[in-house]
Amino acid sequence: MVDLLHILERTKEIAKEAGAFIREERKNFDLEKVEQKGLNDLVSYVDKEAEKIIVSRLEVILTEADFITEEGTAARDGKAYTWIIDPLDGTTNFIHGLPVYAVSIGLRYKDEIVLGVVYEINQDECFYAVKSHGAYLNGKRIQVSKARRLAESLIATGFPYSGFSKIDDYLKILRSLMEKSHGVRRVGSAAMDLCYVACGRAEGFFEYNLKPYDVAAGAIIVMEAGGKISDFRQGSDYLFGGDILASNYHIHEELDAEIQKVWRK
């Protein structure tokens, strides 16, 4: 029987180890070492080396697990457990020296996320959760905001760096939310957007054109903090479907209604 609480403690240590490496590399980071995987899709040796650190450590603590990783360090093999890893969520922020980026590690058992750790490197904030055990930030229990209306809420989102065919609909949603909420924020890291919903710094988050490693860890942290996660159709395909809607639960339907006014799949 897998002891998820024990694995959680080891995973937190691994996330912080990778975070320490990233923090140190940022001090003398050379922009000339940046590579471009696709349109506006950036990566550096820091992402790749951090991922190698994470995968090599996780392989030891849970040998019967596959991996889904952003930089392709390891692959899936049909096992029940799957680690889903973004070694540096917020790479563009990191490259430009904007201090919001994180290590994100989620663990999926069959079709369900059961563990998540997100370590924000600059603020030394470690968010984590295990299924049915609550969500925490640096050892303290966290909960979503109690705001009950969109008009009382701060909304987080992300801007796509590709897939611009839907940008007009997206901008219409932004305009509506600017008018009907306390405001819209773009942090630059989906993992951190989700954690900020979990701890009540924002009431909702939505974004499209995402990958599993962007949201796996943050999603369970939101749910264990009392929030709600869905895709844009209030379904459950947020992990592989490409879009996600997270909220403090109270505003979920109201926020989704604003998206559905203009969104087309």
Q: Is 89 annotated as a binding residue?
A: yes
Q: Tell me the DSSP string of 188-217.
A: S-HHHHHHHHHTTS-SEEEEES--HHHHHH
Q: What residues pair up with 208 in beta bridges, in sequence order? A: 243
Q: Is 177 helix (H, G, I), strand (E, B) or coil?
A: helix
Q: Is 168 annotated as a binding residue?
A: no
Amino acid at residue number 30 = D
Angle formed at CA 185 by CA 183 and CA 188, multiple of 5 degrees: 175
Helix axes 190-198 and 212-224, enclosed angle (nearest 10): 0
Helix (H), strand (E) at residue 184:
strand 183-186
**Torsion angle, CA of 51/243/218/44, rounded to 10 degrees?**
20
Strands (E), 34-160: 35-38, 41-43, 65-69, 81-89, 102-109, 112-120, 125-130, 135-137, 140-142, 154-157
Amino acid at residue number 167 = I
Report CA torsion sign: 90, 217, 151, 201. Answer: negative
Q: Is 70 annotated as a binding residue?
A: yes
- Tokens encoding 119: 């370590």
Give the residue from 67, 71, 77, 107 showing the smallest Cα distance to 89.
71
User: Which amino acids are annotated as binding site for Mg(2+), given as ranges?
Assistant: 70, 86, 88-89, 214
Binding-site positions: 70, 86, 88-89, 214
